[in-house]
Amino acid sequence: VTPTESIPLLIVVVLLLSASGVDPDAMTIHYAGDRDVATMEDVLIVAGGSVSVPADAAIDGQVYVIDGQFEVAGTVDGSLTQLAGSVAVPASGTITGEFQTIAGRSDVAAGATVGSRQVLEVDPREAEGGGAEWLLLLLQILGLGLLGYLLGRRQPALLENVGRAVTDHPGVSSVTGGFAGTVLLVLIIAMAFTIVLIPVSVIGLGVLVLTVAYGQVAIGYRLVQPLGIRQARWRAALGGALVAVLLEVLGTVPLVGGLAAGVVALAGLGAVLITYYGLRRFVPPTIPGPA
């Protein structure tokens, strides 16, 4: 795990610490190797390697595990939050505060003492084949449909421009969407690394997601054109919902399905960008040359 790869979870930890009023300067980060901890600053972050609180030791403060292994054979006089990695609390271990597991593997022995226990981890086997996927799809259909309705009611010309860019210039739209989407994601993550710009990166991510959704609605608006729906708002709403279903169906095709769905989504994003969010029609420059 490199610094950059560790940072997203570190950011989450810093956010949690800030929310609880703890000074981030009081953090101790363990990244690699084995270590026994008998004393600590206010906050200990296990970001790799193996950290153990020996049976005869007691540490006072908050502990966060974002990678590696953490064993509590002694006492943690405070809370333990697990975002990834693994945590083991044998029978001799004590956590006086809350032990919260958001993700990762945890093992609490029967005789261990834990103030309170909260597990937010979702078992993928439960989600798979259950109602979660259908609920998510329903939300996507409703979300894109609603976005389409609103855009179609107020600005159908924008949808027309974006939709045309996708169908008339699929190559440029896809390449632009793929390239810009990747670079913007890197930029958003880079901004988050600075800690100070986390709010900007969160807003940026939101804008990016909305832009992708806008592109999908525009594709749908174009797709349902042959149906002859007169009212733009209903055409856009139906188109948005249809694209949500189509992307889901595409995603189920083995091997190429996910890729195809991704290309469609990126083409929408690219079309939005090259038309300046639909404000202009995209017309590539004319270059004189042999016919």
Partner 1 sequence: VVGYGLYVAFMAAGYYYNVTFVQLGLLDLGTRHVGLSRTGVSWWMAGLALLTVVVAIATGVAVDRRGLGRDLHAKLRLLFGVVFVQVLLVAIAPHIRSVAGFGTWIVVAAIALGVGVPVSFGLTVDLVPAPDRGYVAAAITAAAYFLANVYPLDWRIETFSAAMLAAMVPGLVVLGWLASGRSGLVDALADQHERFGVGRFCHPEPVGLRSRTFASLLVLTFAVFFVDSLGFLRIVEEPILVVSSWGSPAFGDHLLLAVVHVIGAVVAGVFYRNFRKRTIYLWVFGLFALSHLLYTLDIQLGQLFPTLGGAPPVVNPATYAVAVSVYTTLNFALWPDLSTPDTIGTHTAVGVGVSGWLATFMSTALALRLQEADVGLLSHLNLVNAMALLVFVGLLVAWYVGNARHHGAGGEAA
Question: In the complex, which residues of this chain contact partner 1 (CB under 8 A)?
Answer: 1-7, 10, 29-32, 47, 169, 171-172, 175-176, 178-179, 183, 186-187, 190, 193-194, 274, 284-285, 287-290
Closest CA to 215 of 265, 253, 167: 265
Of the two residues 226 and 284, which places its CB atom closer to partner 1 in the complex? 284
CB of residue 221 to partner 1, shortest distance in Å: 23
CA distance 78 to 90: 17
CB of residue 111 to partner 1, shortest distance in Å: 33
Of the two residues 116 and 182, which places its CB atom closer to partner 1 in the complex? 182
CA distance 39 to 235: 65
β-strand pairing of 80-82 with 43-53: unpaired
Of the two residues 21 and 285, which places its CB atom closer to partner 1 in the complex? 285
CB of residue 62 to partner 1, shortest distance in Å: 17
Of the two residues 254 and 289, which places its CB atom closer to partner 1 in the complex? 289
How buried is 33 (Cβ within 10 angstroms: 0-12 exposed, 13-18 middle, 19+ buried)?
Answer: exposed
CA distance 51 to 259: 41
Of the two residues 242 and 274, which places its CB atom closer to partner 1 in the complex? 274
Give the pair of three-digit tokens for residue 247.
Answer: 């992307």
For residues 7-27, b (16+ Cβ closer than 10 Å) or e, as one string? bebbbbbbeebeeeebeeeeb
Q: Cα 199–201–206 angle (5° rounding)? A: 95
CB of residue 45 to partner 1, shortest distance in Å: 9
CB of residue 242 to partner 1, shortest distance in Å: 28
Closest CA to 11 of 229, 145, 189: 189
CB of residue 29 to partner 1, shortest distance in Å: 5
Of the two residues 9 and 53, which places its CB atom closer to partner 1 in the complex? 9
